[in-house]
Structure 1
Amino acid sequence: MIAKNSSRSKSPQAASVSPVVRSGRASRSDGDATVRHIITQAGSLFAERGYADTTSKAICEAAGVNMAAVNYHFGSRDGLYLVLLKEVHREVMSLDFVRQIGHSAAPPSDKLYLLIEGLLRATYDAKSWHIRLWARELLAPSPLLSQIMEEDTLPKFEVLRDVIMELTGMPVADPQLLRCVLSVIGPVIMLLILDRRIATPIQPLYSHNVEDMARHMHTFTIAGLQAIAQQGGYAADTKDKAGKG
């Protein structure tokens, strides 16, 4: 006969995990939650006040954590801010997503549409702190912007440049190519940095449908790129999957 386990008996699974290990797992879980909470609170504060006017003390107070928490988890306020800027790039439009578009077998016109639509969709998402923080960073750059530009912005810029090269047939050395890239991203940057709460001549655009905006900008951009390519004697490839220019 098999004796019944007493109420004090431990199951094999529970007995195999020591209190120290269980405590360590809980500690890591709590630490991850604290880090995430600090990031969220800091992101909102930096987006509201900017890099120069947001202190570690204010962040810790907003997060309800020990005053040493920023240094403990991130090394410094700059370390935390760098994490935030990296997260902005992942959340708004990750490099993997951009490269996936750039390396796809889709026609270059379709690639350009996906990039424009993705940027617009991220720009129109004003509910999170990510876009507002990035807009502040562009208007009032921190000492960390150059690092972010090199590590996160430049690789995305290169994908867009390469797509435009596919579209226009321009070589990378042609000075017109850089002007074309600026012409494509300029309108999106303007929409990004303007405060939609302030009355401006283009404020009504923020209520427009993202797909409608993307189609308009894509059509306008394709026509412009085609004209520039023809002026330069290049053979532009502006056909999409449906065969429309």
Structure 2
Amino acid sequence: MVKSDSEREVRGHRRDGDVTRTHILEVAGQLFAERGFANTTSKQVCLQAKTNTAAVNYHFGSYQGLYMAVLQEVHQRLLSLDYLNALADSALPARDKLAQFVESLIYDLLENRSWHTRLWARELMTPSAYAVTAVQTYALPKFGVIHRLVAEVSGLALDSPALQRCVLSVMAPCMVLLVVSHELDTPLKPILQQPTAVLVEHIKIFMFAGLDALSHHQSTPKVAR
């Protein structure tokens, strides 16, 4: 079927609009990661993106809408919810699911150090006014899936306080890798200079050893004193 000139024009504008939106998003993400939301102005984003406020409002509704779109992009890039749900629902053994999650996350944090990881680290260390909304909208659903993965391995109930502590133990090393500086000469720098595969294997060994020990402790009858 031959498309009319008007149809081609509409499709062309749509493609151009998608390119413009993506460009603004990338430029804004880099600036926000470098300076933080509070120290980045709409004018700076527009100048860097070679666009105007009207384009920001058209694609994102407002400057604040642009920031929320940037945070959404961060969570799409760092192990999306779709990926986690697919992993949790897969036929893999429970331990393999959790191992794959941890491995994928650590490789994302160490091998793909982009503005996405730097911006989310900034949000965790010095939260913006939109941090709570971002956590509730994008992070908490992911944590729900992670709870499921850890519950499968540990055998703990989803509403168990012990499960919450297990999730903390699993996530803590990953969060440290997210927020620790790769440039500053800190005590952790030698660890970051080791091969990622070595660090991944080390964390998985500790993680499963801890979960196995806790599972054994939970199932061992307590002797009355």
Pick from 133, 138, 141 the counterpart of residue 127 of structure 2.
141
How far residue 144 of structure 1 moved from its aligned partner, in angstroms, is 2.2
**Superposition pairs of residues 1-245 of structure 1, within 5 angstroms:** 13=2, 17-18=4-5, 20-233=6-219
SS at match of 1:54: coil
| Equivalent residue number for residue 5 of structure 1 | none
C-alpha separation between the residues in 2 aligned to 1:21 and 1:106?
A: 46
The number of aligned residues is 220
Q: Deviations over 1:84-106 (max 9, x none)?
A: 11111111111111111111121
CA distance in 1, matches of 2:156, 2:162: 8
Q: State the identity %.
A: 41
| Displacement of 1:218 | 0.8
- 2:72 and 2:111 map into 1 onto residues whose CA distance is 18
- Alpha-carbon distance in 2 for matches of 1:93, 1:126: 12
Q: CA deviation at 1:127?
A: 4.2
Larger Rg: 1
Deviating runs (4+, > 4 A) in structure 1? Answer: none
Would the alpha carbon gap of residues 122 and 137 (structure 1) be closer, same or farther in structure 2, given more than 3 Å must change? same
Q: Quick one: distance in 1 between partners of 2:149 and 2:172?
A: 16
Mark the runs of 5 or more structure 1 residues left unpaired by the alignment: 1-11, 235-245
Match of 2:22, as an amino acid? R
Task: Give the Cα–Cα distance (whole angstroms) in 1 for the partners of residues 138 and 155 of structure 2.
Answer: 26
Output the TM-score relative to the length of structure 2.
0.91
Q: Which amino acid aligns with 2:27?
A: Q
Question: Which amino acid is the alignment partner of residue 168 of structure 1?
Answer: S
Residue type of the alignment partner of 1:75: G
The answer to which structure has the higher helix fraction is 2
- Matches of 1:126 and 1:103 in 2, distance apart? 26
Displacement of 1:171:
1.4
Please give the per-residue CA displacement for 1:201-230, whole angstroms capped at 9, x wherever unaligned: 111222222222221111111111111112
For the aligned residue pairs, the C-alpha RMSD in angstroms reads 1.7
Please state how far the C-alpha of 1:67 moved relative to its aligned partner: 3.3
Structure 1 residue 126: Cα displacement: 4.6
Q: 1:63 offset after TM fit, Å?
A: 0.4
Using the alignment, how far apart are the partners of 1:67 and 1:159 within structure 2?
38
Give how far 1:21 is off. Answer: 3.3
1:165 and 1:194 map into 2 onto residues whose CA distance is 28
